[in-house]
Structure 1
Amino acid sequence: MDTRLTNLYVAAIYKVILCIFGIIGNMLFIHLIYRRKQLQSKTSIFQCIQCFFHIFCSIGTVQNGVIDIGDTYIRSECFNQITYYVFFQAAQGLLMLHIVLDIWFFVKFPIVYRNISKTKSIIFSGIPILIFSIFTTLYGFFTTNDDTIYSCSPPFAFGPKAGVLYKYLFIVLALIIIIIYCIIIRSFKTRNISTTSQISFKKTITRLQLTVLIFFLSWFVSQVLGLIILEISNYPKWLGMLLVHNVFFVCLSYSNTFYVTLLKSKEYRDQFCSLWCLRKSTSSGIAIVNSQSMSQKYISPEIKLQKRNDTCFYSTSRRRLQGIMWRSSRGGNSNSSTQDQLISMFSSKQSVYIRAIGFIYIRYTQPPEDLWNWLKYLPAAVVTVFATTAKPSRTAKQPTRRRRVAVLCRRAKPSPKVSFSL
């Protein structure tokens, strides 16, 4: 057995190993999101779809080059065998871009993002992905020929020029993804955040940086190496042996979603362990888990006092708003006095309720769902005021935030007609 065949056998072994780990990990991720309703955000649903695509892509990597090591292929016959692989690879490539755009849209426009239903988002996102995948597959079908090739994979199954264009397209998509990730990281770094939120923000930035690093070392590197293989027709034997291992980065990009998610997210680890009874879950839900886990780390009396005041501030404002909503639901939309109360509460930049909702928006990664439901009862102008209101400047005549909170706490009286669900 010569050195070239030994090198191919090594590549075949880790292709099978990564394929097995990838299929298991992708299935576990889909199962976790399906069983845990708290984790079913739009981004996680898109990741489930991506895991489904990755299962077929992982199978495509071991379909050829494992049993038939060292054989040659006819390009047209190869394309017919891996047509499904071409389709799902194109779909997951564009879906990667959509996932990072979804994260950016959530960070930039959180209120609009939450008003878009999951079903509409999936349908409108799936249409361009489906069109792109079908077009890419048909493009490869019409450009293939009967030439002899040494590797049966998507870029080689295309015609020579079409394969190069195919790789350039995915490199451009990968660069756009990295740029958007960098924009998201920069937006987090430039935010003015309180001392109590700094640790949470640092963890978020670290997770995003880890995501960018893994994406760069797997998918982006594999596309660049694939382009080098297509562009260089004659290269030394040692370089050819090295380029064979480009498939390692391809397989790695198809198998890392589940393991990377568990590595960088404590919420997912807790839910996974509780689902499989590995240990008792320490989080009752994802809605306020970030603030709870964060607050346990602070032992300073000032921070404890601030957290207690914040909780009172939130509860008081929420109780008043729910009371008005309850009266509005009984009186109908024609109740002008209720509508006037809502406008007076939200239209003023000095309104304490604007400050309350602004505090909840900053403090919690995922605020309670009923908080966002209040917005649909308000006129468009009021919603605009709420969305664009900045923190008012403090003057000597204005009460401090701590004094205002203390006054609200003393005046707070529970409403017997309203039930709360936090």
Structure 2
Amino acid sequence: MALTTFQFLNQIFIASEIVFFNIFGLFGNLNFIFLTATKTKLKSKSSYLQCALCFSHIICLSFELPNAGLLFTGIQLKRNQCFPAISIYIFFICAQAVIILMMTLDIFIIVFFPAFYQTVTTWKYLTGMLTIPVVYSSGIVIWGFLAMDDEIVMFCNPPLALYHTVSRFWTFSNVIINTITLVLFISLILLFYYKGKKQKSDTRKIMKRLKVSILFFIFTWYIGLLAADLFVALGFTGPTLIFMMSNLVFFVLISYSQFFYVVIWRSPEYRNAFFEAWSCIPCCAGLKEKHIMSTKISATAHSHQAASTVSST
């Protein structure tokens, strides 16, 4: 009886996490798309690519809500019932990992092929960048449909909804994708460290706002993905597997929800646009005024420092 009570309390806790991160994450992702769409100075090929990531995370967060319902009811579905129900979720959960890689590649293109980045049309650039995520995600989903059976799955989530062989390939390929992303991103960080101020200001701004967010995503996604595969590989089953797999959703929910909040922390442009958009709310209006004042003070201090440097030389 104590175990059943513990499981029920754990389910309530996880369901509460899902609801909280849906509110928190959906607000952030929708705001990023809204600000990019309505503020001309925020529109760029890179920001549109980031909007694709936010849209993917909106879908992923939304599909976690039915999982919260299943946690309360304890209903177990067959794979041929579960997989079709969350196939859209699986498509976007696959796509978002590759989009993160494309965002890293985007910075490489800006740094090493600036002429190409400036001259290529936006729709051609985005089509090229999003083709790989679509092809990869479509392949996983199609394979998932072809391989699904009537086995009862303990929990209706992507690692278990996919047939064992497909799930292992999905996990392994995601680890490879994330590793490539991490290697590329570390290379970029080292490049920026050695080149310093020689980089263009726009490139530095993109790097500044993406550095923490991408690293945050990689490590939270790594934890959730590797642990889920490890639990299945170790042979955990029944209530133990349900408990361990369901609690991993915390790391996944963080990866879906953090992007916008890291951006407004790291990017004055997005932070100012956010305060301006929500200036009707007293607290946001106050924060906007403080942000403007701090920006002016910082600019004045920088000007005095520059002037002192010039006079001393």
TM-score in terms of structure 1 length:
0.63
Aligned: 1:7 with 2:13: no
Determine whether 1:182 maps to 2:182.
no
The equivalent position to 2:304 in structure 1, one of 299, 303, 326, is 299
Decide whether the 8 Å contact of 1:43 with 1:102 is kept in 2.
yes
What are the superposed Cα offsets for residues 43-89 of structure 1, whole Å, 9 maximum, x if unpaired? Answer: 11111111111111111112124255322211110001111111111
Letter of the 1:53 counterpart: S
Rate the CA distance shift 1:116–1:169 in 2: closer, same or farther, 3 A: same
Q: Determine the C-alpha separation between the residues in 1 that align with 2:207 and 2:40.
A: 25
Q: Residue 64 of structure 1 is aligned with which of 59, 64, 67? A: 67
Correspondence 1:47 to 2:47: no
Relative to structure 1, the CA distance from residue 192 to residue 263 in structure 2 (aligned partners, 3 Å threshold; closer, same or farther) is closer
Distance in 2, matches of 1:236 and 1:78, equals: 17
Q: Which residue of 2 aligns with 1:271?
A: 273
Give the number of the structure whose alpha-carbon radius of gyration is greater.
1
Q: Distance in 1 between matches of 2:258 and 2:211?
A: 15
Correspondence 1:78 to 2:65: no
Q: Is it true that 1:26 corresponds to 2:26 in the alignment?
A: no
Q: Deviations over 1:102-125 (max 9, x none)?
A: 012112222332122212101222
Q: Decide whether aligned partners of structure 1 residues 25 and 120 sit closer, same or farther in structure 2, where only a CA change above 3 A counts.
A: same
Query: Is the 2:155–2:242 Cα contact (8 Å) retained in structure 1?
Result: no
Contact 1:65–1:151 (CA<8 Å) still a contact in 2?
Answer: no
Asked if the contact 1:65–1:152 (Cα under 8 Å) also holds between the matched residues in 2, the reply is: no
- Give the counterpart letter for 1:276 in structure 2: W
Aligned 8 A contact 1:30 1:48 in 2? yes
After TM superposition, the structure 1 stretch with the greater mean CA deviation from structure 2, 29-38 or 132-141, is 132-141
Deviation, 1:238, is: 7.1
CA spacing shift, 1:305–1:215, aligned 2, 3 Å = farther
How far 1:166 sits from its partner (Å)?
0.9
Q: How far, CA to CA, are the matches of 1:141 and 1:297 in structure 2?
A: 59
Give the aligned partner of residue 158 of structure 2.
Answer: 154
CA distance in 2, matches of 1:201, 1:101: 13
- Taking the aligned partners of 1:305 and 1:274, their CA distance within structure 2 comes to 38
Alignment gaps of 5+ in structure 1: 284-289, 307-401, 403-422
C-alpha displacement at 1:272, in angstroms? Answer: 1.5
Separation in 2, partners of 1:82, 1:208: 29
Closer/same/farther in 2, CA of residues 113 and 296 from structure 1, 3 Å limit: farther
Q: State the AA in 1 paired with 2:34.
A: H
Cα distance in 2 for residues equivalent to 1:235 and 1:143: 21
| Partner Cα distance (1:28, 1:64) in 2 | 25
* Distance in 1 separating the partners of 2:135 and 2:226: 25
- In 1, Cα distance between equivalents of 2:289 and 2:53: 29
| Corresponding residue number in structure 2 for 1:252 | 254
Is the counterpart of residue 111 in structure 1 residue 115 in structure 2?
yes
Please list every run of 5 or more consecutive structure 2 residues that lacks an aligned counterpart in the other structure.
Answer: 280-284
* C-alpha contact 1:171 1:220 (8 A) present in aligned 2: yes
| 1:25–1:7 distance in 2 versus 1, CA, 3 Å | same
Query: How far did residue 170 of structure 1 move?
Result: 0.9
Q: 2:195 aligns to what SS in structure 1?
A: coil
In structure 2, do the counterparts of structure 1 residues 261 and 130 end up closer, same or farther at CA, with 3 Å as the change threshold?
same
In structure 2, C-alpha distance between the alignment counterparts of 1:50 and 1:234, rounded to whole Å: 33
Q: Offset of 1:152 from its aligned partner?
A: 0.4
Matched residues, number: 297
Q: Is the 8 A contact 1:11 1:244 kept in 2?
A: yes
Letter in 2 for 1:303: T
The amino acid of 2:223's aligned partner reads V
CA distance in 2, matches of 1:24, 1:193: 34
**Equivalent-residue separation in structure 2 for 1:123 and 1:132 (angstroms):** 14
Contact 1:181–1:208 (Cα < 8 Å) also in 2: no
| Equivalent residue runs for 1:216-295 within 5 Å | 216-234=218-236, 241-277=243-279, 278=285, 279=288
Q: TM-score, normalised by structure 2?
A: 0.84
Code of the aligned partner of 1:148? I
1:303 deviates by 3.4
Alpha-carbon offset, residue 234 of structure 1? 3.0
Residue of structure 2 in register with 1:102 after alignment? 106
Identity %: 26
1:14 & 1:192 partners in 2: Cα distance? 40
Equivalent residues of 1:188, 1:201 under 8 A apart: no
Pairwise CA RMSD of aligned residues?
3.1
CA distance in 2, matches of 1:295, 1:303: 14
